[in-house]
Structure 1
Amino acid sequence: MNVEPPPTAEVLVTAERPGPRLWQVTSGEHTVWILGTQSPLPQKLRWRSAEVEAAIAGADEVLGAYTVSLRMGSQEWQRTSTTLEEDLPRKVYVRWTKMRDRYIDPRIPTDELLPASAAYLLQMSAFEHNGMTSSDEVWRTIYGLARLHDVPIRPQSYEVESPVTKVSKRTAREAGVRCLVQTMDRLDVDMTESRRRAEAWADGDMKMLRQLARSDQSYSETLARSWPFLSDKDVDRLIGQETTRLAAVIERAMIRNRRTFAALPVHMLMKEDGVLSILRAAGHRVEEPVD
C-alpha cells in the first residue's frame, strides 16, 4: 500500500535574523569565543551575526569542527541477523515501514540498517521533509569568514579505541529497537521543538534555548546508548573522556593564542557537568550570553 506523504510544513524562519550568541572563556589576557551551534535549521534560514564575524575577524585561530570516530576490530561485534526486519518485533517493523514510506527516499536502501541507524535516518529524513536541514551550513559560514579574514583553521578530529566491554546480543538488540521506537514516538514533537529551537537560535533567545536544550541532549545520549557494541558504562566513559579532552583543547588554544574562535552544540555548552564546568573548575572565567 502506498502511503501519501503529508504536505510539507511551512517554515517560518526565512528572513535574516539577529543571529546566535557567544560564550566567552577567559584566562588572563587570553580569550576563547565559543559559538553555540544548532542543528537542524530551516533550509531557507539566513543568519548574520556581527558578534560572530567580529570574533572570527579578531581571532588568531579558528578551532575546526570537533569530531570523534570509534575504531573497532573486525571481530569485536558481529551482527547475527541479516535484515532490519529480523531485528524488529513484527508490530514495530510494520510501523517502521509506514514511516519509512512517508519520509525516506525510496532510492535509499534500508533493509540492512541497524535499528539505531534506521532511527537516525528516519529523523533526518523527516527534518528534510519538513523544510529543515542538518547540513553543515553554520560551519560553512564559519570557515568562509575565517578564509575571508585570513584566519587559520586548526582541525579537531580524533579517533579513539573501542571499549572492551562485551554487550550481549539481546541487550544490543533491545537498545537499538528502543531507540527506533522512541524516535517514532517523538517524531512529531521533535519536528515542533526543532523549529522552535531554530527560531530561538536565530534570534539569540537564550531563555528558550535553555528550555529546549535538555530534550536535545537527551536524544543525543539515547542514540549513543543504542549502538550494539556500547554498554551504558562505555557511553558514560566515552562522554567523560571526550568532554575532558575538549576542555584540554580549549585550554591549549588559550595558551597558543590571544584570541580563539570555536563552536560547539548549544546543548553541550548548557550541560551542567560539561566542558564549561571543567574550565570553571580549572580557574578560567566563563561568561554566558545573557537572556
Structure 2
Amino acid sequence: MRLRHLAVLLALGSCSPVFAQSSAAPPPQVAELPAVVVSGVQPGPGLWKVSRGGHVMWVLGTLSPLPRAMQWQSREVEEAIAASQQVLLEPSVQLKADVGFLGKLFLLPSAYSARKNDHGATLQQVLPPPVYARWQTLKQKYLGDDRGVERWRPLFASQELYKKALKANGLSRSGGVRANVDALAKRHGVPELATNYHVLIEHPRAAIKAFRQAAPRDVTCFIRTLDSVEHELPAMTARANAWATGDLQALRELPDSDRRDACVAAIAGAGFAQALGLADVPAQQRATWLAAARKALAANAQTFALLPMDELLKPDGYLAALQAEGYQVDAPE
C-alpha cells in the first residue's frame, strides 16, 4: 500500500534533495517584479546533454510552480524522446505500508484524523498570536470563509493556502509537463523508468501516531509558507515565466524559494522520521537516481531524463556528480 494515504507523504514524498534552514521571521521583501503570467504555446528550456562513449542522455529541467495557462510544446523534447530507448523519471520517494487489504481499510480513518489538530484544537489555539494574525489575512484573501481548515494541523493548512494562492496568481504546481512527457513516451513507445527510493513502513499505525506527536514542528513549515505567499509570489511568477520561455539566464539569477525544503526539513528532523529511516531521504534519492542514470547511459544509445531545474543549475547537483565521474555535461546554449 502506498503511504499517500498517510499524512507523512505530504511532507516527504518527492522531496527536494537539499534541506534548507527555516526561520520564524519573514524574509526581506523581494523586489516587485511584473506579475503577468505568460500563456499560450511555450517551448520551455533547452536540454542538457550528458554523454560518454557514444551514449547520450538528454535532460529536461523541471520547475514548480509554472504558468497555469501555458501550453508546453517542445519539438526538441519530442524528438529526443522519440529517439530514446528509455525515459528516466524524476527522483521521488515511494512509501509503502506493510498491511493487507483489511489493514488498508482500517488505516484510512487514522490517516485522515492525523490531518487535524489533537483534541479538536483550532489554529488560533496552536499558533502564536502574531502568526495567526498573518494567517487570518492570507486565509481571507485566498480561502475565504472556509472554517474546516481552522481545525487542520498547520502543516496541512499551509499547503492548502499555498495551493490556492498559486491558482489565484495564475500558477500551477506542475504546468502539465510530466503529463506531456508521459504522453510523448507512450506515443513513441518508449518505456519510462521510475527512480523511486522505496521506504517500507513496517508499522504504519505507529507511524501515524508518531506523526501526530510531531505536530509542533508544523509551525516551522507554516511560517515559511506564509512568508512565501506574502513575499515571494512575484519572484515565483518570474521564474515560472523564465522556464516557459526558456530563459536560463533569468533562472540562474532569480531567487528560488526554500519553502518546500524548510517544510521537509521540519518534518524529517522529527524523531519519528529518523526512527523510520526517513532522515537520509535526500542522499538516498540522489544515489538511486544516479545509479539509474549510469545504468541507462551504459545500456542505451540514447536516454531522456527529468530532473528538478535546481539540480541542473547548482554547482553540486546531480549532473555535477556525473561530470566528476568523467561524463561530459553540456548545458543548452
Specify the TM-score bucket, using the shorter chain as the normaliser: 0.7 to 0.9
Task: For 1:84 and 1:227, locate their aligned partners in 2 and report how far apart those are by CA, in whole Å.
Answer: 20
Aligned to 1:187: 229
TM-score scaled to structure 2, two decimals?
0.71
- In the TM superposition, 1:109-120 aligns within 5 A as 109-120=148-159
Aligned to 2:287: 244
Aligned to 1:126: 165
Instruction: Determine if contact 2:97/2:200 at 8 Å carries over to the other structure.
Output: yes
Aligned to 1:199: 241
Deviation at 1:251, TM superposition (A): 1.0
Q: Give the gaps of 5 or more residues in structure 2.
A: 1-33, 99-106, 202-209
Task: Pick the aligned partner of 2:307 from 255, 260, 264.
Answer: 264
For residues 80-130 of structure 1, what are the alpha-carbon distances to aligned partners after superposition, in whole Å with 9 as ceiling and x for unaligned?
564352431233223323322321375684244332222222112100011
Instruction: Determine if contact 1:244/1:278 at 8 Å carries over to the other structure.
Output: no
Say if 1:139 and 1:228 are closer, same or farther in 2 by CA, change over 3 A: closer
Instruction: Determine if contact 1:30/1:254 at 8 Å carries over to the other structure.
Output: yes
Instruction: Determine if contact 2:35/2:237 at 8 Å carries over to the other structure.
Output: no
Q: Give the gaps of 5 or more residues in structure 1.
A: 1-8, 163-167
TM-score scaled to structure 1, two decimals?
0.80
Aligned to 1:83: 121
- In the TM superposition, 1:1-291 aligns within 5 A as 11-70=36-95, 82-85=120-123, 86-104=125-143, 109-135=148-174, 137-160=176-199, 172=214, 175-212=217-254, 215-216=256-257, 218-227=258-267, 230=270, 237-290=280-333
Task: For 1:236 and 1:278, locate their aligned partners in 2 and report how far apart those are by CA, in whole Å.
Answer: 22
Give secondary structure in 1 for the equivalent of 2:149. Answer: coil
Give secondary structure in 2 for the equivalent of 1:226. Answer: helix
Aligned to 1:3: none
Task: For 2:73 and 2:135, locate their aligned partners in 1 and report how far apart those are by CA, in whole Å.
Answer: 39
Instruction: Determine if contact 1:172/1:226 at 8 Å carries over to the other structure.
Output: no
Task: For 1:205 and 1:178, locate their aligned partners in 2 and report how far apart those are by CA, in whole Å.
Answer: 33
Give secondary structure in 2 for the equivalent of 1:156. Answer: strand
RMSD: 3.4
For residues 181-238 of structure 1, what are the alpha-carbon distances to aligned partners after superposition, in whole Å with 9 as ceiling and x for unaligned?
222123243211121111111121111111235x23x223112112276369887732
In percent, how many aligned pairs have the same letter?
32
Instruction: Determine if contact 1:81/1:87 at 8 Å carries over to the other structure.
Output: no
Task: For 1:51 and 1:245, locate their aligned partners in 2 and report how far apart those are by CA, in whole Å.
Answer: 27
Task: For 1:24 and 1:83, locate their aligned partners in 2 and report how far apart those are by CA, in whole Å.
Answer: 52
Give secondary structure in 1 for the equivalent of 2:280. Answer: helix
Instruction: Determine if contact 1:172/1:229 at 8 Å carries over to the other structure.
Output: no
Instruction: Determine if contact 1:10/1:131 at 8 Å carries over to the other structure.
Output: no
Instruction: Determine if contact 2:65/2:172 at 8 Å carries over to the other structure.
Output: yes
Instruction: Determine if contact 2:45/2:248 at 8 Å carries over to the other structure.
Output: no
Deviation at 1:248, TM superposition (A): 1.0
Say if 1:183 and 1:20 are closer, same or farther in 2 by CA, change over 3 A: same
Give secondary structure in 1 for the equivalent of 2:69. Answer: coil
Aligned to 1:165: none
Deviation at 1:285, TM superposition (A): 1.5
Instruction: Determine if contact 1:84/1:115 at 8 Å carries over to the other structure.
Output: no
Give secondary structure in 2 for the equivalent of 1:227. Answer: helix
Instruction: Determine if contact 1:200/1:208 at 8 Å carries over to the other structure.
Output: yes
Give secondary structure in 1 for the equivalent of 2:254. Answer: helix
Say if 1:105 and 1:159 are closer, same or farther in 2 by CA, change over 3 A: farther
Aligned to 1:4: none
Number of residue pairs matched by the alignment: 276
Task: For 1:24 and 1:263, locate their aligned partners in 2 and report how far apart those are by CA, in whole Å.
Answer: 12
Say if 1:282 and 1:229 are closer, same or farther in 2 by CA, change over 3 A: same
